[in-house]
Amino acid sequence: MNQPTHLLNKWVQENNELVKKCKQQEGGGDALSRDQNQTHLRSCSSEFHKLLRKIQGVPPLVNHTHLELSVVYNACVCSTAQSQFTEAELLLIQAIQRALQMTGDEPVASNRPVFWRTVLKSVGNTTFNTCVRYLLCLQWAIWLATCQLTIIQELKEELSSLFETLCDGVGDNKKNEARGKSSDIPLLVTDPRRLVELLQICTSITQGAERLSEGQSSEALSALQTASSLPAPRALSAYVHFLLGSCLAHMSRPQMALQCYRKALVTDACCVSALYQSMLIYRQLGNTQAEIQALRLLQSTLMLPSATVPALATTHLLSPSLLLCSQSLSSLLSVPSALSVLHSLALKCVLHGRVSEGVEHYLDLLAALHSEDQHGVHAEVPPLPRLPELYLEAGAALLMARRPADCMALCNEVISTTLELLPEKVVLEDPEETSEAETSDMSVDGEDRVGMLLWTGAAYLLQGHCHTHLKDWKQAVTHYTRCINLLVRVRFKKKGFQPQIPSGDVVVKQGTHLCILQRLKGLSLAGRGISFTQTDQLKEALRDLLLSLQAFPECVGAGLWCGEVLWRLGRRQEAAACWEKTWSFTTQHHSAEGLPVYLQEPQSGPLLDSMELRHRIQELGPN
């Protein structure tokens, strides 16, 4: 009779020593590296499994059940912490079935919700009821870590009861105190009460993210508002506030969403994601200054070490990061890379009057792309523009900052890398006219070569603008002409017409190429026409300016200078009509926000005073 008691005491002591050893990992904190933590955890797990085999080597006894289930709990915690979910689940199910052999009511259902309902009913009046509830906590953790949210929802009532029972501490507080004082009570590596609190808040976060991704914003909002009152570490509360903000943003309540995002900024857990979503709201509201400020903060935060890794501090072996693995949550938390944000910041500054700042950001971006440390460059979502496009954007910004020499240097880089690869001819055809077979023949290489032609044309265009800025009209005409000569390589395939296409030509669908081509053609002809006006070549100027307006009717520079040339040629009524038409375009506010910055009209070079032109029209009088 004394042998079982002796073994029981020995095994309790062995379990307790292992628990103390295992908890050294939690207490060690930063002293142990990640690899050392994993090694330590594997060692503890192995020791708990050895002890469990000893206990299960004898027939099940009522007196041993409490110890056995406690050791199972500890072993399963270690296995789950190592993401060995299948092994942990199998172990706890087998242990419960072994314990239930003594009740004579062993459940055989393979369906997990049915299984657990039967178990909870069977052990309701037994001495190991509490131990089984602890194992249900672990089962809950495994379901959550493997995103089996359907089962969690199906057992919602039982899990809610579990949460209330453990958090109320019914019958457990005295036991917990006793565990700390008595050496004959088996210790646990993780406090089940703390664990169930963690599970409740992590489940609310995960379910909220899932509902939000499914478009159920109202349902997600209601659940998350309830979750915001649950006990939780600051990092997990930040997740709740972040998701509340996302719900409100989807429900078109931006100001309330911003308030929630501000609350999510208090910890590193989702600070970056909250900053990014705040920036998107400021963009939606048209608050450019706030958007730029948010982009600055976001970019500087992303440059910090491990900025995109949530800092979820925990006192549990089962960390929140193990439980918060939902793909929906990851998608909601995703942010662009630091380089992508830097590009957005540079472009936004240039487009909204902060040219000097934008130039510096562009130069930082180009330096980063050319450095050896290019982490994340090849995994951009959305992708960064191609390097020639970035050169052109940076060149346009430098010209706006009145640094034409630097702009021309970047344009030369573009030209030198693309010029020899340009196609002799390009045929643009209507997408509706393109058969599936033809579409498959249009290689990515063909699209790239057309892109190179347009980039090279844009580089010549910018160089023309630079010489215009320097008032070197002859060089300006030369570079605008080079751009035009490239663009005339592009032909259009008319509907129903099948031209003979030489083998060296590239055939592509029109797509966005047509818009860029027309813009390039309009700006280069306008630039050359304006340059001709400065050398009094009015006939050539009028020809180019009229062709510019055909390609790009909204071109303000072409319209005003066309009127000026007509005025100088004595065709004053036509000049007045041309100016009036141009001003009507400007009042309609044709935004160039969606176009590349290098395709916007230049702000330098010879300008005409609209007030003076209006005064001329007034003096001209009625027809």
Average pLDDT, the chain: 85
Long-range contact set of residues 46-50: C-beta below 8 Å, sequence gap at least 24: 47/18, 47/21, 48/15, 48/18, 48/74, 48/75, 48/78, 49/75
Identify the band that residue 170 occupies on the pLDDT scale cut at 50, 70 and 90. very low
pLDDT at 273 over 70: yes
Range among 35-39, 41-45, 214-218 rated most confident: 214-218
pLDDT at 106 over 90: no
User: Which pLDDT value is given to residue 379?
Assistant: 44
User: Which pLDDT value is given to residue 421?
Assistant: 81
Name the more confident of 61 and 524: 524
Name the more confident of 381 and 429: 429
Q: DSSP letters of 43-82?
A: HHHHHHHHHHHHHTTS---HHHHHHHHHHHHHHHHHHHHT
Indicate the SS3 state at residue 222: helix
User: Which pLDDT value is given to residue 542?
Assistant: 97
User: What is the C-alpha to C-alpha distance for residues 296 and 87, in angstroms, rounded to an integer?
Assistant: 47
User: Which pLDDT value is given to residue 307?
Assistant: 54
What is the reported pTM?
A: 0.84
Range among 299-308, 333-342, 364-373, 429-438 rated most confident: 333-342
Mean pLDDT on 210-237: 90
Query: On the CB side of 315, how many CA atoms lie within 13 Å of its CA?
Result: 9
Mean pLDDT on 98-126: 80
User: Which pLDDT value is given to residue 9?
Assistant: 87
Mean pLDDT on 421-433: 74
Indicate the SS3 state at residue 427: strand
User: Which pLDDT value is given to residue 377?
Assistant: 42
pLDDT per residue as tens digits for the range 461-495: 999 999 999 999 999 999 999 999 999 988 877 66
In what order do the strands lie in the sheet containing 426-429?
A: 490-493, 426-429, 506-509
User: Which pLDDT value is given to residue 304?
Assistant: 80
Identify the band that residue 446 occupies on the pLDDT scale cut at 50, 70 and 90. low
User: Which pLDDT value is given to residue 422?
Assistant: 85
pLDDT per residue as tens digits for the range 572-609: 999 999 999 999 886 555 555 578 999 999 988 888 99
User: What is the C-alpha to C-alpha distance for residues 256 and 200, in angstroms, rounded to an integer?
Assistant: 25
Instruction: Tell me how long the chain is.
Output: 623
Helix (H) or strand (E) holding 426, with range, is: strand 426-429
**Residue 279 in tokens:** 């920036």
- Sign of the CA dihedral 412, 416, 418, 423? positive
Which residues, in sequence order, are bridge partners of residue 491?
Answer: 427
Instruction: Tell me the angle at which helices 34-55 and 2-28 cross, rounded to the nearest 10 degrees.
Output: 170
Reduced DSSP (H G I as helix, E B as strand, rest coil) percent helix, strand, coil of the chain, to 5? 70, 0, 25
Identify the band that residue 372 occupies on the pLDDT scale cut at 50, 70 and 90. low
Q: What is the DSSP letter of 590?
A: -
Name the more confident of 536 and 171: 536
Least confidently predicted of 94-98, 532-536, 572-576: 94-98
pLDDT per residue as tens digits for the range 121-136: 888 777 888 899 999 9
pLDDT at 440 over 50: no
Identify the band that residue 64 occupies on the pLDDT scale cut at 50, 70 and 90. confident
Q: What percent of the chain has pLDDT over 70?
A: 82
The beta strand positions in 472-566, using DSSP E, are 490-493, 506-509
Identify the band that residue 387 occupies on the pLDDT scale cut at 50, 70 and 90. very high
Instruction: Tell me the angle at which helices 610-620 and 556-568 cross, rounded to the nearest 10 degrees.
Output: 40
